[in-house]
């Protein structure tokens, strides 16, 4: 199995470009199912999760071609003949359940494997199901699968015979991103108006709404906590460019904060990352917005200050950057406290960081971090995608050599991670 070998304490400098956003690309790919014609999506990152979603779409019967060099994906959903997201694929990547909304909307029924737990928590799908049921779907759970069927039958809004969903008002108990996306997609072809209250507000939701609008959907309020969708008869093909990945940007910003001289992170959108960037400023990092197009991080000579961080749905501090900023806080003098509110089990990286000399205690959903002077290189294991990236950053700043194993987690979400770090001067190789 592949691992990263990192020789730490090299100074990073130069420019690095962020790829297309994983957490948008996967949703746009799922939403393509809704189209009556071919969809072209640009700026698709070459990551393993995208490859898994391609497998899901092909399994359903869609024709898919991916030009990895040009980062252009073409999806022709006209041949879809299966309505099942199988366990092997959903287990590999939870986001596979995002095909449920589009399949239900277009064909009136879907069979999707229950995702089950993952390394960062149990991750329920009750909010998705309640939403589908409110739209008039009947659900049956059997043998590890959820079967959903639109209750209404007859001439659909498009005029064709079949099963269809009925628009309604849905109040989410929690602003789940996945549920917001699934219900928003399902509602595009429902009869009448759907309102989602307490919707997730992430920029990726706006990207998905804009993508659907470019296909002919009628959606208002994307990016606010109240999204209104007016059902249309059908959706057409489109050409669309995925937004840049804020979490990848945040990862490189943190790498630069740890060991950068002057690093420019291009395609990093400040407004999408403001809470995170302002927190870094508060700690004492010299970070600058370049017109919402790139972010520059410069080395600072003054001592950094400890802080409190509490993860929350957007626009709060992003949970995906929690493991990553924890690495920085582990070498900031004083005591910092990180509270994880979104996932129940997102401190798996802490034991590994402690093996590298960090002093972090986990108490429930809080991590109490006593800054140490230095981390020291050690063999460590990536338990999930962001925890894995965090350990690579720890290796960059640590004294000596760090080996990060199980890097297949990192390959799920970072395109050319080691190459991009090498281009900034990091000493990292794959073995
Ligand atoms: C997405 C992101 C993930 C990010 C997370 C939170 C993708 C592919 N993944 O995941 O990187 O960390 O948002 O920003 O976009 N929940 C329920 N019931 C539900 C749905 C969710 O209890 O029906 C809970 C989950 O267990 C979790 C929390 O709500 O504790 C957040 O989940 P959600 O916002 O749905 O995250 P995802 O869309 O799965």
pLDDT digits (tens, 9 = 90+) for 14-67: 999 999 999 999 999 999 999 999 999 999 999 999 999 999 999 999 999 999
What is the pLDDT averaged over residues 208-212? 98
* Helix pair angle (177-187, 203-214), 10° resolution: 10
Tell me what pLDDT residue 121 has: 62
d(Cα 199, Cα 261) in Å, to the nearest integer? 40
Annotation says 259 is catalytic:
no
pLDDT at 285 over 90: yes
Task: List residues near ligand 1 (CB under 6 A).
Answer: 23, 26, 95, 121, 123-128, 174, 176-179, 200, 319-320, 342-343
Q: Tens digit of pLDDT for each residue in 81-125?
A: 999 998 999 889 989 999 999 999 999 999 999 886 566 666 788
Locate the ligand 1 atom nearest the alpha carbon of residue 318 and give its number.
14
Closest CA to ligand 1's atom 30:
343
End-to-end CA distance of the chain: 8
Of 118, 259, 266, 427, which one is the catalytic site residue?
Answer: 118
Closest CA to ligand 1's atom 24:
123
What is the pLDDT averaged over residues 131-157? 90
Give 37-97 as a DSSP string.
S-EEEES----HHHHHHHHHHHHHT-EEEEETTTTEEEEEGGG----EE-HHHHHH-GGGG
Site to substitute for ligand 1 among 28, 123, 311, 409, most atoms within 8 A of C-beta: 123
Tell me what pLDDT residue 116 has: 63
pLDDT at 160 over 90: no
Specify the residue for token string 């049956």: 140
pTM for this predicted structure: 0.96
d(Cα 180, Cα 198) in Å, to the nearest integer? 9
Average pLDDT, whole number, for the chain? 95
- All structural domains of the chain: 3-19+244-430 (3.65.10.10), 22-241 (3.65.10.10)
Locate the ligand 1 atom nearest the alpha carbon of residue 128 and give its number.
23
Say which DSSP state 117 is in: -
Percent of the chain with pLDDT over 70: 98
How far does Cα 120 stand from its chain's mean position?
13
Q: Which residues pair with 288 in a beta bridge?
A: 296
What is the pLDDT averaged over residues 295-301? 91
Q: Give me ligand 1 centre to Cα 226, in Å.
A: 18
What is the pLDDT averaged over residues 314-337? 98
Q: Give me ligand 1 centre to Cα 291, in Å.
A: 30
């Amino acid at each position: 199995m592949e691992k990263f070998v990192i020789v730490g304490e090299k100074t990073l400098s130069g420019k690095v470009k962020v790829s297309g956003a994983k957490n948008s690309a996967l949703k746009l790919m799922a939403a393509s199912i809704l189209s009556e014609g071919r969809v072209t999506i640009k700026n698709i990152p070459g990551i393993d999760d995208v490859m898994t979603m391609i497998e899901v779409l092909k399994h359903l019967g869609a024709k898919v071609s991916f030009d990895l060099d040009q980062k252009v994906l073409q999806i022709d959903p006209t041949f879809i003949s299966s309505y099942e997201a199988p366990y092997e694929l959903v287990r590999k990547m939870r986001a596979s359940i995002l095909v449920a909304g589009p399949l239900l909307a277009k064909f009136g029924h879907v069979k999707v494997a229950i995702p089950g737990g993952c390394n960062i928590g149990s991750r329920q799908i009750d909010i998705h199901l309640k939403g589908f049921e409110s739209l008039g779907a009947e659900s049956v759970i059997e043998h590890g699968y959820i079967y959903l069927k639109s209750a209404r039958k007859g001439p659909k809004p498009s005029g064709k015979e079949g099963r269809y969903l009925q628009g309604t008002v849905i109040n989410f108990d929690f602003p789940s991103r996945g549920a917001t996306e699934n219900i928003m997609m399902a509602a595009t072809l429902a009869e009448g108006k759907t309102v989602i209250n307490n919707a997730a507000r992430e920029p990726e939701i706006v990207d998905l709404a804009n993508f659907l609008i470019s296909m002919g959907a009628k959606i208002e309020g994307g990016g606010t906590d109240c999204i209104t969708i007016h059902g249309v008869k059908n959706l057409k093909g489109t050409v669309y460019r995925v937004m840049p990945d804020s979490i990848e940007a945040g990862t490189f910003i943190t790498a630069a904060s740890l060991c950068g001289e002057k690093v420019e992170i291009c395609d990093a959108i400040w407004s999408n990352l403001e809470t995170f960037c302002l927190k870094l400023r508060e700690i004492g990092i010299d970070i600058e917005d370049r017109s919402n197009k790139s972010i520059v991080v410069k080395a600072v000579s003054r001592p950094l200050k400890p802080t409190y961080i509490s993860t929350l749905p957007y626009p709060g501090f992003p949970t995906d950057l929690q493991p990553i900023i924890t690495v920085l806080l582990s070498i900031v003098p004083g005591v910092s406290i990180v509270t994880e509110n979104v996932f129940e089990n997102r401190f798996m990286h802490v034991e590994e960081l402690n093996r590298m000399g960090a002093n972090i205690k986990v108490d429930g959903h809080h991590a109490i971090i006593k800054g140490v002077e230095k981390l020291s290189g050690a063999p460590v294991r990536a338990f999930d995608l962001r925890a894995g990236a965090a350990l690579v950053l720890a290796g960059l700043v640590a004294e000596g050599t760090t080996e990060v194993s199980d890097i297949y987690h990192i390959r799920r979400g970072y395109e050319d991670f080691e190459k991009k770090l090498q281009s900034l001067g990091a000493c990292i190789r794959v073995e």
